[in-house]
Structure 1
Amino acid sequence: MIYLDNAATTLHKPPEVAEAVKNAILTAGNPSRGAYGAALSASRTVYDTRAKLAELFGCPRADHVVFTANATQALNTALYGLIWSGDHVISTDLEHNSVLRPLYDLEARGAKVDFVPADKRGCIRYEDMEALFRPETRAVVCTHASNLTGNMLDIARIGRMAHAHGALFVVDASQTAGAAKINMQGMDIDVLCFTGHKGLMGPQGTGGLCVMPGVEIRPLLRGGTGVHSYDREPPQEYPARLEAGTLNSHGIAGLYAAVGFLLETGVGNIAKREHALMQRFYEQVRGIEGVTVYGDFSSPARAAIVSLNVRDYDSAEVADILASEYGIAVRAGAHCAPRMHEALGTVQQGAVRFSFSYFNTQAEADAAAKAVREIAEE
């Protein structure tokens, strides 16, 4: 199988990731729940993973790296923990439902939400965002890169804009964590939400948020934390205030190994390889008669994603042909990005998404392009 659905999850991981998960399953106790060897070892692994993620993302404090089950939980934690009725929020048409649905719910509870519109290439104008700020604007919430088109936003520019207006900046890095350079301090990011199973190449069931000092997030969940057990309220200090319940220490051990691989290999080198594979595929399919490619490919700053349609075929039909006749795994449909599909005009047809990872090859990119050509010609 040629696996090109890495924007959903990376299938091929560094081998040390699986080994770390296996060892943790066999040896790890419950972190922060005991003073015996197995529990202390798990606690050390959890802390060391926080430290590696803080290094990777430019977060100034390891204890402000909070673990969740995925980016969806991280985004819900950030949004429900920061935004009240009466607050104003700015977001974009590029967003995944992990951002959109919490914002729609908060809007129903009395918050005000504005979306920066995207054009037919899936691009926004930063001037349009600037015009949306109000005195009551509490936060800007946006993705780093669209999971549908791969278009990447200039988050450093948005961060400066948000802080100039006294607003917080929350970033959804689901498509870029591990695959693009991110520095919270240099990019004025207040809360960075990430998942562990995509560009970070870790296990599913891992994710989290990095919180800059001084940003106070109300807990989304309440329960046991292993400390302050007699208090009615959760602990106030990070990370315990946002980590109710037992952590996925087995998955976190795998994430530790994955981040170690990323730091050793270099995020810049990974991004360069993924971009080259994406560009190789794009150059071969963009001129095929009957193929429509979506997104802006004029900038080298983008995620390694190419979404397209073949004539008027339903995107699911094309994906099925790719899987059954060519052994190529892609994703079709709406990709949980409804506003982007509205901007692209693909609500009914959906789109076929090819997404590349560090472990894909040039031969796989060529085979996928050849398959698209043959389907279009047939």
Structure 2
Amino acid sequence: MMGDFWNRWRLEFPALSRYCYLNTAASGVASQRVAAAGARNFSDYTQFGGVPSLQWNEQIENIRAEVANFIGASPEEIGFVSCTSWGMNIIALMLKQSKKRKIVMSDLEFPSSSLPFLNAGFDVVFVNNRNGAARIEDYEKATDKDTLAIVASVTQYLTGWRSEPKELAKIARKNEAYLVLNMNQTAGSFMINVKEADADFGCFTGVKWLCAGEVMGVLYVRKQLLDVFSPPVFGWRSVPDPYDMDNKNTTPVDSCRRFELGNIPLPCVFALGEAIKVYKEVGPERIEERTLSLSKMLAESLIEAGYDVVTPYEDERHRSGIIYFKVEDAENVVDRLRKMGVIVSYRHGGIRSSVHYYNNEDDIERFIDSLKTIGAVSKRGSSGRKR
């Protein structure tokens, strides 16, 4: 019965009939419903111009509420930004108003987590990973009273290691520091609640596991902190009543809308809203269970085929949909796989594969068979998990 359920949802993603797509960690396949939601706004513009603008503004606020519910926040704590990097830059510039300068993060972090803080002049301490894992005890050793914030991906982009936000928050609170979460590799695959995680700031987009295409980013700022930090950027929509069009008013609205500097790309917001509806219809618990099952199968199939898996996949509390492994001449292998219709990513001398709920067992079997067909061999000297 569940096989029929997943097969029906798979039909919503036409690209899956063209490719063996194991690359959601780079970019998820957009559903037909998401594409239609974005296209409707363009169609409305051709038929009505800007006449429905009041209706569109109401839709934006409804979607803001949906996004807030999606991560356990309030609508006032949600701002739409262009991407995760822009959101992280806003956070870095706000935190720059503090006296402390030390930022702690894993050496596994994606550049959108690290570069905004480095560029803002912070002293960034990178915690060394251990065999692909960002361990809580290592964050604890690196964090002290001089620390301004811990910046952490809920799911690491390379190895797929899932962190423990609640434990990170405890370390942050003990040292009077903030917790900043990069939720980009988590949103849409595993449930995240910023209140339960006790997070102060966070960002994500819909391009990956929400399967919403290249849409908007989302910025979360704890409501109480809006009174602590002045907005480092400002635009005509940053004020309580933007349509008053007062060109001398620099009083920010008491919400994260203050970071929405101008007009928002409506098709992107509507696509993001539809993607969250799809996510809820499929079922968050079902998606988690499906992802964990497929990623375990993928890791074990790779090991059985003789490949060294770097991802610490054994404990499902830390496993995600990402499985990273090393092969010789990995970049060429990825290119040859692409020509065979098998889509994965080359990352740091290895191959990052990723499974989502729309994948199935046949995808994994085809992937393994394709690796064997082109003669891909495990990288010599790799310290990954072996058969």
Instruction: Output one character per residue of 1:240-265: Cα deviation in whole Å (capped at 9) or x when no partner.
Output: 31110111111110111110111222
- Aligned counterparts, 1:139-158, within 5 A: 139-158=149-168
Work out which of the residue numbers 213, 221, 231 in structure 2 matches 1:203: 213
Large movers: runs of 4+ above 6 Å: none
Instruction: Output one character per residue of 1:38-73: Cα deviation in whole Å (capped at 9) or x when no partner.
Output: 1111111111111111111111x2122100111111
Instruction: Output one character per residue of 1:326-374: Cα deviation in whole Å (capped at 9) or x when no partner.
Output: 210111133xxxxxxxxxxxxxxx1111111221121111100222233
Partner of 1:346: none
Q: Is the 8 A contact 1:234 1:241 kept in 2?
A: no
2:225 aligned counterpart, secondary structure: coil
Alignment RMSD (CA, Å)? 2.1
Percentage of matched positions with identical amino acids: 24
Q: Which amino acid aligns with 1:351?
A: G
Q: Is the 8 A contact 2:102 2:123 kept in 1?
A: yes
The answer to whether structure 1 residue 88 and structure 2 residue 105 are counterparts is no
Partner of 1:222: 234
Greater Cα offset, 165-174 or 226-235: 226-235
Q: Is the 8 A contact 2:143 2:175 kept in 1?
A: yes
- Aligned counterparts, 1:35-184, within 5 A: 38-59=52-73, 61-84=74-97, 86-106=100-120, 109=121, 111-119=122-130, 121-184=131-194
Greater Cα offset, 227-236 or 174-183: 227-236
Partner of 1:309: 326
Residue 104 of structure 1 deviates from its aligned partner by 1.9
Q: State the distance in 2 between where 1:209 and 1:377 align.
A: 41
Residue 132 of structure 1 deviates from its aligned partner by 2.5
Q: State the distance in 2 between where 1:149 and 1:48 align.
A: 35
Q: TM-score w.r.t. structure 1 length?
A: 0.86
Q: Is the 8 A contact 2:220 2:256 kept in 1?
A: no
Residue 182 of structure 1 deviates from its aligned partner by 0.6
Residue 134 of structure 1 deviates from its aligned partner by 2.8
Q: State the distance in 2 between where 1:358 and 1:283 align.
A: 18
Residue 206 of structure 1 deviates from its aligned partner by 1.1
Residue 232 of structure 1 deviates from its aligned partner by 5.1
Q: Which amino acid aligns with 1:10?
A: G
Partner of 1:282: 299
Q: Is the 8 A contact 1:45 1:256 kept in 2?
A: no
Q: State the distance in 2 between where 1:279 and 1:332 align.
A: 20
Q: Is the 8 A contact 1:28 1:42 kept in 2?
A: no
C-alpha change, 1:373 and 1:238, in structure 2 (3 Å) is same
Residue 234 of structure 1 deviates from its aligned partner by 5.9
Q: Which amino acid aligns with 1:155?
A: P
Q: What number of residue pairs does the alignment pair up?
A: 348
Partner of 2:381: none
Q: Is the 8 A contact 1:308 1:352 kept in 2?
A: yes
Q: Is the 8 A contact 2:100 2:147 kept in 1?
A: no
C-alpha change, 1:10 and 1:220, in structure 2 (3 Å) is farther
Partner of 2:202: 192
Q: Which amino acid aligns with 2:129?
A: A
Partner of 1:359: 358
Gap runs ≥5 in structure 1: 335-349
Residue 86 of structure 1 deviates from its aligned partner by 4.1
Residue 305 of structure 1 deviates from its aligned partner by 0.9
Greater Cα offset, 72-81 or 250-259: 72-81
